[in-house]
Amino acid sequence: MTREVQDNPAMRRYELTIDGTTAFVQYRLDDNAIALLHTEVPSELAGQGVGSALVKGILDAAREQGLKVVPRCAFVANYIERRPEYQDLLA
């Protein structure tokens, strides 16, 4: 089982693959910001914290890269809203 969030720049999305099934967040890069557009977690991974693990990995990567975050996806926005340690990343 892979639990590492991977950037797939060719498809403009971050991915988390578990047991051969991939959850992802589509993004758009603009200058020093990343807009997180859409989160998709397949039904076989639902309810296991996969979406949260994926968003956490993306936010940690954004911080490491010095990027601000624009949450265009309700799931990402709610995740950040509930976690003050990530609110400084908001553009």
Domain range summary for the chain, segments of one domain joined by +: 6-89
**Tens digits of residue pLDDT in 28-48:** 999 899 999 999 999 999 999
8-state DSSP, 90: B
DSSP-H helix ranges across 1-91: 50-65, 74-81
Q: How confident is the model at residue 21 (pLDDT cuts 50, 70, 90)?
A: very high
DSSP character for 44?
G
Q: Residue 1 has what pLDDT?
A: 40
User: Stretch 70-76: mean pLDDT, rounded?
Assistant: 97
The CATH H-level superfamily of 6-89 is: Gcn5-related N-acetyltransferase (GNAT) (3.40.630.30)
| pLDDT over threshold 60, residue 8 | yes
pLDDT band at 85 (very low <50, low <70, confident <90, very high): very high
**Strand, coil or helix: 25:** strand
φ/ψ of 89, rounded to 5, equals: -80, -15
